[in-house]
């Protein structure tokens, strides 16, 4: 039966050409606006940058290959000719070093131990990635304030138009009833003019509301990337908020990430004083070949070695850098505490606003009921000729304003609850 009923409803909609209304929630608008915003691609971009940087850091463990070439001329060289002249047999063995030297080499260097420099550099890059991603989230979160303003204004304008439409129908019924009374001389044409002028005023208000609502829906369509029309129904959120909300704001998380970055920088600084072990090799071709300065001909040669580099004293540069980082950590902690206190104060102010609106809504219900009774009494008095049409319209306007104010207070309460959630950093369900 349920399936049959669903098929019948769909068939009726298609045959009558009626487009069903679509319901959209505030959370959906948040998600759509975030996905449609230009910032949405930045996270992926930062992730790609981090991957490239990390790949380069890992390649620091691979050997470096350098080709070097040089040509030089020495004005003075070691000359054994005078020393060997007294020994005829040796003079032909030892030749003078060539004054010109040429070489081309392939130099290979390999790091064996870097004191954790690469590891800590990778940690710093990861910390920077998290910071960049969190900054994007902070910027995206600011979009919610704009969405809130447009979303609740659209709902309010729609509700105001609905209230005015009801009163417009009432005016039309009253005018239809008055036509025969005026013809029979029971009512004056002046009374019809008063009600007609009120009807025109309501129609003008409705036209203005419709214009504002269409403009806001156009903005919402652009922000969310989805079509929003008069057939779109906006759900009024009912946020669940408490006084003891845990603060999960992205800005506070940003401070924690900055502290992690500084901790990584502290470890990176410490590695500067640790020993570094490395190996090297050189394959070359030159004249003289390698260290054989007595050979005056081109030939190949190679050099293989290993070394350790250890900065045992840096004039307290590392100590000073660590001191700077410690001071920066203190600044970050103070700023986080200050922001936490400010958010707590804003939450207290917002909760006070919520409590005030809740009290106003309770009195709105009583006031609206009183205004409806007064309007019914005024209608009866007008029909009996004891009050004028202007006095009757005044009472109807008072009832209309009470209804509008009641809706405004209800929407303000919902908005205040949403803002309370946003202040604390919690998501709207």
Residue 110: its H or E element: strand 100-113
pLDDT band at 12 (very low <50, low <70, confident <90, very high): very low
Calculate mean pLDDT across residues 22-39: 91
Q: What pLDDT is stored for residue 343 in this prediction?
A: 92
Q: What pLDDT is stored for residue 110 in this prediction?
A: 94
Name the residue among 131, 188, 336 with its Cα closest to residue 252.
336
**Residues across the chain:** 429
What pLDDT, in 10s, does the model give residues 220-245? 999 999 999 989 999 998 887 776 66
pLDDT band at 385 (very low <50, low <70, confident <90, very high): confident
Does the structure show a pLDDT above 50 at 14? no
Contact (CB, 8 A) for 34 and 426: no
C-beta atoms surrounding 128 within 10 Å: 17
Q: What pLDDT is stored for residue 291 in this prediction?
A: 81
Buried b (16+ CB within 10 A) or exposed e, 317-328: eeeebeeebeeb
Say if strands 232-234 and 299-309 run parallel, antiparallel, or are unpaired: unpaired
What pLDDT, in 10s, does the model give residues 88-129? 655 565 666 778 889 999 999 999 999 899 999 999 999 999
Contact (CB, 8 A) for 134 and 252: no
Q: What pLDDT is stored for residue 130 in this prediction?
A: 94
What pLDDT, in 10s, does the model give residues 344-361? 999 999 999 999 999 999
Question: 268 or 97: whose pLDDT is higher?
Answer: 268
Q: State the sign of the Cα–Cα–Cα–Cα dihedral 339, 343, 344, 345.
A: positive
Does the structure show a pLDDT above 70 at 45? yes
Q: What pLDDT is stored for residue 5 in this prediction?
A: 39
Question: 79 or 282: whose pLDDT is higher?
Answer: 282
Q: What pLDDT is stored for residue 340 in this prediction?
A: 93
Distance CA 262, CA 259 (A): 5
Name the residue among 150, 120, 329 with its Cα closest to residue 224.
150
Torsion of CA 238, 240, 241, 242, to 10 degrees: 140
pLDDT band at 38 (very low <50, low <70, confident <90, very high): confident
Calculate mean pLDDT across residues 14-32: 73
Q: What pLDDT is stored for residue 17 in this prediction?
A: 42
Contact (CB, 8 A) for 298 and 286: yes
Q: What pLDDT is stored for residue 278 in this prediction?
A: 93
DSSP reduced 3-state for 116: coil
What pLDDT, in 10s, does the model give residues 153-162? 999 999 999 9
Q: What pLDDT is stored for residue 214 in this prediction?
A: 95
Place of tokens 């307290």: 316
Q: What pLDDT is stored for residue 11 in this prediction?
A: 42
Q: What pLDDT is stored for residue 263 in this prediction?
A: 93
Question: 293 or 166: whose pLDDT is higher?
Answer: 166
Does the structure show a pLDDT above 50 at 9? no
Domains and CATH numbers, the chain: 2-36+114-275+310-424 (1.20.1600.10)
355's CB contacts (< 8 A; 6+ apart) are: none
Does the structure show a pLDDT above 90 at 262? yes
Instruction: Kindly state the tokens that stand for 249.
Output: 């704001």
What is the percentage of the chain residues whose pLDDT exceeds 70? 88
Contact (CB, 8 A) for 183 and 174: no
Instruction: State the DSSP string of 395-416.
Output: HHHHHHHHHHHHHHHHHHHHHH
Distance CA 220, CA 154 (A): 10
What pLDDT, in 10s, does the model give residues 125-146? 999 999 999 999 999 999 999 9
Calculate mean pLDDT across residues 243-266: 89
Distance CA 150, CA 156 (A): 10
Calculate mean pLDDT across residues 255-274: 92
Place of tokens 């580099």: 309
Q: Indicate the average pLDDT of the chain.
A: 86
Name the residue among 65, 103, 63, 107 with its Cα closest to residue 281.
107
Q: State the sign of the Cα–Cα–Cα–Cα dihedral 186, 189, 191, 192.
A: positive
Whole-structure pTM value = 0.79
Q: What pLDDT is stored for residue 241 in this prediction?
A: 73
């Amino acid at each position: 039966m349920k399936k049959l009923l669903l098929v019948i409803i769909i068939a009726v909609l298609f045959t009558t050409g009626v487009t069903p209304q679509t319901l959209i929630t505030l959370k959906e608008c948040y998600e759509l606006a975030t996905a449609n915003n230009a910032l949405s691609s930045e996270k992926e971009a930062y992730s790609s940058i981090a991957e490239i940087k990390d790949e380069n850091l890992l390649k620091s463990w691979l050997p470096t290959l350098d080709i070097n070439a040089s040509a030089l001329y020495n004005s003075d060289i070691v000359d054994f000719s005078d020393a060997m002249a007294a020994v005829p047999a040796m003079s032909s063995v030892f030749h003078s070093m060539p004054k010109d030297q040429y070489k081309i080499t392939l130099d290979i260097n390999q790091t064996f131990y870097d004191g954790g420099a690469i590891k800590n550099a990778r940690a710093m890059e990861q910390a920077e990635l998290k910071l960049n991603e969190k900054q994007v989230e902070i910027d995206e979160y600011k979009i919610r304030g704009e969405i809130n303003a447009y979303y609740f204004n659209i709902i309010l304008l729609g509700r105001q138009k609905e209230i005015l439409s009801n009163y417009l129908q009432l005016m039309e019924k009253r005018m239809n009833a008055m036509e025969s009374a005026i013809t029979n001389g029971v009512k004056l044409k002046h009374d019809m003019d008063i009600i007609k002028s009120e009807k025109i005023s309501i129609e003008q208000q409705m036209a203005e509301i419709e214009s504002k609502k269409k403009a806001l829906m156009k903005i919402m369509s652009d922000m969310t990337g989805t079509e929003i029309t008069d057939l779109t129904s906006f759900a009024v959120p009912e946020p669940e908020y408490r006084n003891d909300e845990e603060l999960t704001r992205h800005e506070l998380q940003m401070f924690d990430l900055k502290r992690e970055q500084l901790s990584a920088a502290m470890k990176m600084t410490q590695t500067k004083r640790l020993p570094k072990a490395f190996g090297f090799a050189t394959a070359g071709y030159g004249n003289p070949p390698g260290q054989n300065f007595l050979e005056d001909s081109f030939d190949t040669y190679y050099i293989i070695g290993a070394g350790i580099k250890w900065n045992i004293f840096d004039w307290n540069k590392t100590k000073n850098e660590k001191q700077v980082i410690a001071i920066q950590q203190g600044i970050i902690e103070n700023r986080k505490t200050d922001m936490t206190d400010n958010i707590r104060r804003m939450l207290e102010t917002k909760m006070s606003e919520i409590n005030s609106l809740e009290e106003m809504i309770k009195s709105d219900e009583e006031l609206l009921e009183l205004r409806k009774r007064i309007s019914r009494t005024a209608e009866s008095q007008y029909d009996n000729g004891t009050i004028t049409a202007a006095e009757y319209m005044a009472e109807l306007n008072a009832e209309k304003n009470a209804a509008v104010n009641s809706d405004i207070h209800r929407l303000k309460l919902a908005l205040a609850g949403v803002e309370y959630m946003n202040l604390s950093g919690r998501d709207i369900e």
